[in-house]
Amino acid sequence: MTETLFDIAALVIPLIIAIVFHEVAHGWTARALGDPTAANLGRLTLNPIKHVDPFGTIILPGMLKLAGMPVFGWAKPVPVIKGRLRNPRRDMMIVAAAGPGSNLVMALIGAVLLGLMVRGITADGAEQGLATMFLVKNLVNFILLNVFLALFNLLPIPPFDGGHIVEGLLPRHMAIKYAGLHNYALLIMILLLVVVPWVFPSLNIVGWLVLPPVEWLNGHYMAIVQAVAGR
């Protein structure tokens, strides 16, 4: 039981940090490009209470972890009013890309910190306590979760960031029709990520489309860890 709680805590803590920075990056970028909506609503804060969705950020990831399934989650979306952006089509793509981009930067920071920790542990040579191992596990999960969130959110379907990017790349008449899919975003997400994989296991989008590049990119971040650790 203690080990399970240890694992869940080492998963939920880095997930909350990763999701909060992801959402705030959207808001910061939107403000820089002309839309102060998120700032006016007090959403440009790193206080997780402002961003955490109890089910999407805590309960669902914990349940998926216990079930041995790929872990994903979401926070309360930062509000962005497309019409307030200086160049709505272009700027909305930039705002959308800012979230995954922030996750890749956070993964790099996590890799450097983990490498420094490993270097210190190796130099110390003593047996490490529970607190140290908990921090190491948090950093390992922090890197992996940030990589996963970055690539997962680039799926080219609503309500993901990749959907907004596709919308901006499409011709205007097609983009208008594509934007209509956002009205069914939650239904699309449940169907594609939960129902379809459950009914047809071979059609697990996360398993065959997201996880392979996640594993590849995470391997490169682990190489950075090794380099910083001096191994």
Q: In 3D, which of 113, 22, 132, 12 has the Cα closest to residue 75?
A: 22
Query: Which residue is catalytic, options 23, 127, 167, 215?
Result: 23
Q: How many structural domains compose the chain?
A: 1
23 labelled catalytic: yes
Report which DSSP code applies to 231: -
Q: What residues does 75 pair with on adjacent strands?
A: 52
Q: pLDDT tens digits, the chain, 231 residues: what are they?
A: 555 777 878 888 898 899 899 999 999 999 999 999 999 998 888 888 888 777 777 777 667 667 666 666 677 889 999 999 999 999 999 999 999 999 999 999 999 999 999 998 877 666 677 888 899 999 999 999 999 999 999 999 888 899 999 999 999 999 989 888 888 877 887 787 777 777 887 777 778 888 899 999 999 999 999 999 987
Distances (CA, A) of 25 to 72, 128, 142, 206: 19, 35, 17, 24
Domain that holds residue 130: 2-229
Distance of CA 206 to the CA centre of its chain: 14
